Structure 1
Amino acid sequence: MPKRKCSFNVSLQAKYPFIKQINTPSDVRCEKCRTEFSVAHSGGGDIEQHLKSDKHKNADRAAASSSTMLNFFKKSDAPTLKDLDIAAAEGVWAYHTVQENHSFRSNDCASKLIQSCFDPKFTCARTKSEAIVVNVLTPTAMKELKDDLDKCNCITILNDASNHGNKKIYPIVVRFFQPYVGVQVKILDLQDQPGETSDIIVNYLSQVLTDNNLTAKVVAFCGDNANVNFGGAARRGTNNVLTKLQSSLKKELIGIGCGAHVIHNAVKSAADGLPVDYESVIVKIYSFFYIYTIRVEALKEFCAETETEYQQMLGYSKTRWLALMPALERVLKMYQPLKNYFLSIEKCPQLLKIFFEDPTSELWFYFLHAQSASFHQAVLKLEGQTVSAIEAAKEINQLKDNLIQKQTNQFLPFMVRQLILKLKDSGTNIDEEFVKRTATEFYKTSREYLEQWTSFLTKEMEIFYWADLKKVPTWEDIQKSLDLLIEKQYIDCNKDTEVFDEFSLISNYITSQKITEWNNLNVSTETRWVEIFKHFRANNLQHENFCIVIEYILCLPATNAPVERVFSIMNKLWTSEKTQLQISVLKAMLIIKVNIKKTCQEFHSYLKSSPDILKKICSSDKYKYN
C-alpha cells in the first residue's frame, strides 16, 4: 500500500496562521518568506522543518527590524483639491500603463520624469501604480460589473484554459445584454488551476457563479469543442463540463461550442482529401525563407524576372482560424517565382520538388483558395465580440446550403477551369472527371462535418431567428420563444398577455420600412434592439417583459472567441521578461483592459468626476494587499 499523504488541515491553519494552502491540499506557501513547499510527508513536521530554514529565519529578522510600510505615508481624511488633481493624474497614469502593456517597473523612470517636467508632487512609480491598479481600479471595475449583473436576467459564461509555463490559467468571461447599452462581454474571474479535468472546471465555475449570485441567471455554457466540455460531436456521456455543470446547478443549460472553430475544422477536414498536402507545403515554404536573408534575396531576383512583386511568405497554424486563406493566397501570388526558384536550386526539399514538378499542384491550390474564401468570410462574420448564436446558426446554415449547391452542380472555380484548359492545350494528361469527383467529395465532407458539429446549435437557435430583425417578426414566431422562457421560468406564465401587449407596441415601431433602412445600413442586431428600447424608455412605453426575451436570446454567443482574445491580451501583458508577475496582478490588469472601455483621456475625465475613487488613490489603504 502506498503511504497516505498528509494535507494542510484546520488545526495546522490555526497553529500556523502565516501558512496558506495553494493548488492541492498538500501544497502550501509561507506568507512571511514567500516560499512554497509541501506538507505531504509529515504534515506539521514539514512546517517545523521549514521554520528552521535560513530563508525563513532571515525573513523573521527582517520583519522584526522593519516598520510597517503604512507608517511612511501621510494619513489624511480630507485631501485637498490639489491632492485630488494629483490622484487623478496618478490614477490615469496607472491605467495608461496597463492599457499600453507597459511594465510597472518602467514607471520608476516615468514618475521621476513627470516630476521634473510637469509636477514635483506626482509620484506613481512601480509600487504605487500596481497598488492603484490592483486595489483601486480593479475593485471599481468589478463593482460596476456586479451592479450590471444584478440588474440583468440572463447571462452566458464562457471558459477555456491556457498554459503559461507551469501555470494553467482559467478566465471566466460573462456575456449579457443591457437593453439601453447593448451586448456586454467582460471578465468575471481568472484563476490558475491544477489541471483540466471536467471536475476541476465545474467546481471552479460553480463556485464563481455561487459567489456572484448568478446560478439562477446563467442560461448557457460556451467553450471550445473539446470532449471535456461537451462529450464530443454527439454530446453523449456524463463525464463532461456541460452535463456536470447542469447537475451542479440543477438546471438545463444551452451548450454552445465555438462556431468559428467548427468552420475552420470543416475546411481543414475536407482539404485532407485533396491530392496536395497544403499544410506541409505552406509550412515548408515559410520555414525555408523565415530567417534566411540570402534565400530571400535570391527569390527577389526570380520575382524580377517574372515581373512579380515580392511579398513575404506567410506562416500557417492549425489553431489559427483565419490563417489558411491568406497563406494560400500568398503562395499563389508568388507561385511562378517560387516554382522557378525551387526547381533551380541544387538541394531543393523533396516535398517542394514534387509539389512544383506536378503540373496539377497550382490547380489544387487555386481550388482550395476559392473554397477557403467562403469559410474565411463566415469566420469573419462570427468572430465578432457581440455576434449572437442566432446569427452564427444562420451563417452556418447558409454555408451548408452553399456547399449542397456546389456539390449538386459539381462546381469548379473559374481559375481551376482555366488551368484545366491550359494543361490540356500543353499536352498534359489531366483527368477532368477526377477533378470534379474530388471537388464534389470536398463539398460533401465539409458539409457533413458542419452538420455533425453544429446540429445542436442550429436546432436550438431556430425558434429565435426572428430576433435578428432582418424581417418583421410575427407573434407566432415570438410565442414559441415565449413558451420556452416560461417553461424555463425566466418569465411568469401569467405575464404572457403583457408580453403580447408589448409586442403590439413594438410592432408599430418595427415596420417594413424600418427593417429596410436597418438592412441598407447593415445595422447590427444588438443596435437595432437598443434603438427600440431607448425609444420605448424615452416615451414611457412598457417593454420590461420583452426585454427579458431579448436578454435571453442576445446573451448567447456565436463563438468562444472572447476567451481567446483574453489569452491574446494575456500573452502581451505576461511576457517572458515579466517572470515575477503574480496571478492576482495579471487578473487585475486583464479586468482593466477588457472590462473598462474608455480611452485614457476619457478615463481621466471619469476619475475627475469620481471623488470616491480619488480619495482611495490618495489613501494609504491601497497598499493593504489581501
Structure 2
Amino acid sequence: MFSRGRDKWEALCTICKAGTYVSVANKGCGDLETHIVTAKHRDAVRGGEGSSKLTDFFVQPGKTEDAAHAAEGAFAFHTVKHHHSYRSMDCTSALLKRTFTDSANVKKFSSARTKTEAIVYGVLAPHSVDTTLEALQDIPYLGIATDGSNHGAVKIFPIMVQYFDWKQGGVQSKLIEVKDTPDETAETIAQYLIETLRKNQLTEKCIAFTGDNCNTNFGGVRRDEGGRNVFANLKRILQNKTLIGVGCPAHILNNCVHHGADTLDVEIENILFKIYQYFHIYTVHTESLKEYCEFVDIQYRTLLSHTKTRWLSLFPGIHRLLQMFPALKAFFLSQEKPPVAIKKFFENEFSEIYLWHMHSLMIVFHEHIEDMEKENNSVVEVSNILHSVHNVLQERKENNFMSIKVKELLAQKRKDGHDQDCNQFCAAVNGLYTACLQYLDKWMTPMAEFSPFMWMDLSETPDWNDVETCIKYLREKGVQTDDVKCFDQFTNLKKFAERSNSDGEFKGKQVHRMWTEYFERAKTVQNHSELLKIAQFVFALPSHNANVERVFSLMQSQWTKERNQLSVDSVKGLLLVQYNFKNITCKDFHAYLLNDRKLLGKISSSAKYAWAEKEGTEEDD
C-alpha cells in the first residue's frame, strides 16, 4: 500500500496517490494508522474497489499461456477419460468463460470440439505412443497381441505390446496402433502386424505373438507352422524361427465349459439365451412374470443374458435362473403357446438338477477366469491357474462329485421312482468331467513350453537346477545368459526368496511385482543383470488376450450410437489416450502437462490440425 517517499522517514500512499506522503518521523507506525482512518484515504479505498485496472483487460504472456494450454490439454484428456462427446466442449469452453470471469487462464482458454479433437488425435495420442517407444529403447524384448472386432461393416484391429520395465513398476501393456482392415485373412493380419513393428523399429525386439486360439491365428492346437495362419506367416516373413505363439488361456477355459456342456441332454446355454430374449423387450411378459413371483413368494429379479463370446456371463446367468426357477417354471407351463424348447426344458424333471450341477461347476471356472484375466499376469501365473482347474476337475471326476443340493434333489427323485433317470444323470456328470478334462489336456499342451519358468513364481525357494534349465531354454531362443554370473546373482535371489516367504503381503503380489521388488532392492544392476535378462524375456510374453478385449470395451464406450460418425482415425486417438494413460487421473495429467513445455508447445501449435484436414471427420450430436 505504501512505496518509497522523498526521504527515509516518508512513504507515498499508493491508494491516495496525488502526491500524498505520510511521515513516520514522529510516531512511527502510529502515523500510518492515523492516515489510514482519514476521510481522504477511505474515499480512495472505496473508489479503487469500484474500478477495474487496465491490466485486467490484458493477459500477461509466459506462464499464463502455458497454464491455458495445459488447461486445454487437461480438458481434452478429461473429455476422453470420461467418455464425453467432443461437442460437449462447445458448451464447456463457453461456460468456463462465463463462470470464471476473473481468471486470466480462462480468458486464454479456447478449446471447443474441433480443437479438442485435434489435441487428442494430433498431440496426446501420438505422445502416448512416443513415450512407449522411448521406454522401449532400453528394453530388449516385447510381445505383440491383436484381435478383431466389428463395428458395423468396419473390422477394427488394435495392436498391443507388452514388456517388462521394473523401474516403472513391472509389466507394461501399451496400445500402439488401431486400424481397420479390408478383410480378416491370416495374410492381411500378419502383414499389418509386421508393418507396425517395422514402422516403429520393433521387429528385432518381438519374441512372441498372442491371439485367441482360432485357426486363423494358430492353425489349431498343433500350431501348424507350415500353414497360412497368422503365427506361421509372422515366423516366415520375419524369418524368426524362435518366435513364440501364446494362445489365450482364458479362451481355453471358456471353450472348455462350452465343450463340456455340449455333452449334456439339457442345452443350458441355449435355454438361458431364449428365456432372456422372451422377456428382454416385452413388458407384458415381464409384468406377468412378476405376478408369478408374488404367487410363489420369491423376489423378482431381472434375467441376465449370456453369449458364448462373453467369458464371464454363464455363471451369473445360471445363478439368476436358479433364483427365479419356481416362478419361471410356473409361468411357462401355464402359457398356451410358449416356445417349444423352453416348454420342454421346464417339463423335464431333471432340468433344475442340471442347473444346480452346472452352477457348482461354473463356480470353479468363473473364479479361475477372473483370476486369469488380471491385466499384468504372466505365463507363469496362467499356467498355474490352468493346472489348478485341471486338478479340481480330476478330483471331481475321481470322486464323482456332486453338491449336497444336487444329491438332495436326486434322492427325492429316487423316492419318486426315477432311479433310471437318476443313473443317467450320474453318468452325464461323469461324462461332463471327462469331456472338460480331455479338452484341457489337448489345449494345455502348447502351454507346456513355459514349464522352465515355473520356478519364477517364488512360491518356494528357487533351485539352481531349475534356473539352469531356464538358461538352456533361453539360449535356444537366442538369448545369451552368463551362467557363471547368474549363479552368483542367484544366491542373492535365494536369500531374498527365503526372507520373503514369511511375508504374506509379498506372497499375495503378482509375480512380476515380486521380481520388481527384488530388482528395486538390489544395490546395482551388476547384482542382477543376468536374472534381469530372464525376467525381461518371460514377462514380455503376453499371458492372455484379455487386454485386447479391454480395448474393445473402451471402443464400445466411445463409439456409441450417439457418436456414430466418428472416423476410425478419431476412434484411434480416443483409444490410444484412454488406454495408455489409464492409470493417471485428470488432475495428475494437468500437472503432467505443466511439466512438459515441449508438449504444451504442440498443444498451442496449428500443426495438430493436419490430420483433420486430411480426414475431414465430423461428429454428430
Partner of 2:333: 343
Q: How does 1:267-416 map to 2 (within 5 A)?
A: 267-416=257-406
Write out per-residue CA displacement over residues 340-359 of structure 1, whole angstroms, 9 at most, x where no aligned residue.
Answer: 12222323222222211221
The answer as to 2:174 corresponding to 1:212 is no
**How far apart in 2 are the matches of 1:321 and 1:138?**
30
Contact kept, 8 Å, 1:279 with 1:316, in 2: the verdict is: yes
Alpha-carbon distance in structure 2 between the residues aligned to 1:616 and 1:216: 31
Cα contact 2:461–2:497 (8 A) shared by 1: yes
- Say whether residues 1:610 and 2:596 are aligned partners: yes
1:150 maps to which of 137, 141, 150: 137
Shift of 1:543: 1.3
- Measured after TM superposition, the shift of residue 623 of structure 1 is 2.4
Work out whether 1:173 is the aligned partner of 2:166.
no
Q: Which moved more, 1:190-199 or 1:84-93?
A: 190-199
Aligned equivalents of 2:474, 2:419: Cα separation in 1: 62
Q: CA deviation at 1:568?
A: 1.3
**1:533, CA displacement in angstroms?**
0.7
Match of 1:185 among 162, 173, 178: 173
* Most deviating of 557-566 and 513-522: 513-522
Match of 2:413 in 1: 423
* Contact 1:420 1:430 (C-alpha < 8 Å) held by counterparts: no
Look up the equivalent residue of 2:334 and give its one-letter code. S
Residues in 1 aligned to 2:397 and 2:339: alpha-carbon distance in whole angstroms = 36
Instruction: Determine the structure 2 residue equivalent to 1:62.
Output: none
Matched position secondary structure for 2:69: helix
Cα displacement (A) at 1:445: 0.5
Paired with 1:244 and 1:280, the residues of 2 have a C-alpha distance of 37
Partner amino acid, structure 1, of 2:546: A
- Tell me the matched-pair count: 544
Q: Is the 8 A contact 2:500 2:506 kept in 1?
A: no
User: What's the CA shift for 1:293?
Assistant: 2.2
Letter in 2 for 1:568: S
What is the TM-score with the length of structure 1 in the denominator?
Answer: 0.84
| Counterpart selection for 2:246 from 252, 256, 262 | 256
Q: 1:203 aligns with which of 191, 201, 214?
A: 191
Q: Among the aligned pairs, what percent are the same residue? A: 36
Q: State the 1:520 CA deviation.
A: 7.3
SS of residue matched to 1:221: strand
Gaps of 5+ in 2: 1-59, 101-105, 615-621
Could you say which residue in structure 2 is the equivalent of 1:86?
Answer: 68
Q: CA deviation at 1:555?
A: 1.8
Report deviation, 1:80.
1.5
What CA distance in whole angstroms lies between the structure 1 residues aligned with 2:501 and 2:462? Answer: 10
2:528 aligned to 531, 539, 543, which one?
A: 543
Q: Describe the superposition over 1:241-291 as per-residue Cα deviations: whole angstroms up to 9, x where unpaired.
A: 111111112222111111111111111111111111112211121111112
- Offset at residue 591 of structure 1 (A): 0.8
Check conservation: 2:506, 2:514, Cα contact below 8 A: no
Q: Which residue of 2 aligns with 1:194?
A: 182
> Quick check: 1:423–1:430 contact (8 Å CA) kept in 2?
no
* Aligned equivalent of 2:566: 581
Deviations along 1:314-372, whole A, 9 cap, x unmatched?
A: 01101100111110111111111111122223232222222112211111111111111
Q: Which amino acid aligns with 2:195?
A: Q
Are the equivalent residues in 2 in contact too, given 1:406–1:443 (CA < 8 A)?
A: yes
Identify the residue that residue 552 of structure 2 maps to in structure 1: 567
- Tell me the amino acid that sits aligned with residue 503 of structure 2: E
Residue in 2 aligned with 1:103? 85
Shift of 1:430: 4.8
**Letter matched to residue 577 of structure 2:** I
Q: Structure 1 residue 505 and structure 2 residue 492: aligned?
A: yes
Partner SS state of residue 375, structure 2: coil
Q: Distance in 2 between matches of 1:92 and 1:272?
A: 51
1:465 aligned residue (444, 451, 454): 454
- Tell me how far apart the structure 2 counterparts of residues 298 and 499 of structure 1 sit (CA, whole Å): 71
| TM-score, L = length of structure 2 | 0.85
Aligned partners of 1:358, 1:207: CA distance in 2, in Å? 56
RMSD of aligned Cα (Å)? 1.8
Q: Secondary structure at the match of 2:204?
A: coil
Cα shift readout 1:405-463 (whole Å, capped 9, x = no counterpart): 22222222221111011222344455332222111111110111111122111x11111
State the match for 2:475 in structure 1: 486
Which protein is bigger by CA-based radius of gyration?
2
2:213 equivalent among 206, 210, 225: 225
SS at match of 2:98: helix
Instruction: Show the 5 A alignment for 1:66-85.
Output: 80-85=62-67
Give deviations 1:570-618, integer Å, cap 9, x for gaps.
Answer: 1211123333322222212111111112110110111122222122222
In 2: Cα distance, 1:500 partner to 1:343 partner:
71
Secondary structure of 1:156's counterpart equals strand
Cα drift, residue 490 of structure 1: 2.2
1:22 aligns with: none
- Which residue does the alignment assign to 1:450? 440
1:114 aligns with 2:96: yes
AA matched with 1:605? A
Which of 108, 111, 119 matches 1:132? 119
Distance (Å, rounded) in 1 between the aligned partners of 2:284 and 2:607: 60
1:64 aligned partner: none
The 1-side partners of 2:289 and 2:260 are apart by 32
The residue aligned with 1:434 is 424
8 Å contact from structure 1 (residues 499, 546) kept in 2: yes
Q: 1:599 aligns with which of 585, 608, 613?
A: 585
How far apart, in 2, do the equivalents of 1:244 and 1:354 lie? 48
Q: Quick one: distance in 2 between partners of 1:624 and 1:104?
A: 18
The structural deviation recorded for 1:89 is: 0.7
Contact 2:161 2:175 in 1 (8 A): yes
State the one-letter code of the partner of 1:299: L
- Secondary structure in 2 matching 1:120: helix
Between 1:272-281 and 1:571-580, the stretch displaced more is 571-580
- 2 CA distance for matches of 1:520 and 1:303? 49
Whether the aligned pair in 2 keeps the contact of 1:363 and 1:419 (CA below 8 Å) is yes
Rounded to whole Å, the distance in 2 between the matches of 1:360 and 1:193 is: 48
Which runs of no fewer than 5 residues in structure 1 stay unpaired? 1-77
Letter of the 1:390 partner, please give it. Answer: V
CA positional deviation for 1:141: 1.4
Are 1:247 and 2:236 an aligned pair? Answer: yes
Q: What is the DSSP-based 3-state SS (H/G/I as helix, E as strand, rest coil) of the residue aligned with 2:466?
A: helix
SS in 2 for 1:452: helix
Check conservation: 2:221, 2:446, Cα contact below 8 A. no
State the SS of the aligned residue for 1:347: coil
What SS does structure 1 have at the residue aligned with 2:144?
strand
The DSSP-based 3-state class of the residue aligned with 2:203 is coil
Deviation by residue 1:518-562 (Cα, 9 ceiling, x = unmatched)? 46762111111111111114x676212211101111222221111
Deviation at 1:621, TM superposition (A): 2.7
8 Å contact from structure 2 (residues 452, 473) kept in 1: no
Q: Distance in 2 between matches of 1:610 and 1:558?
A: 34
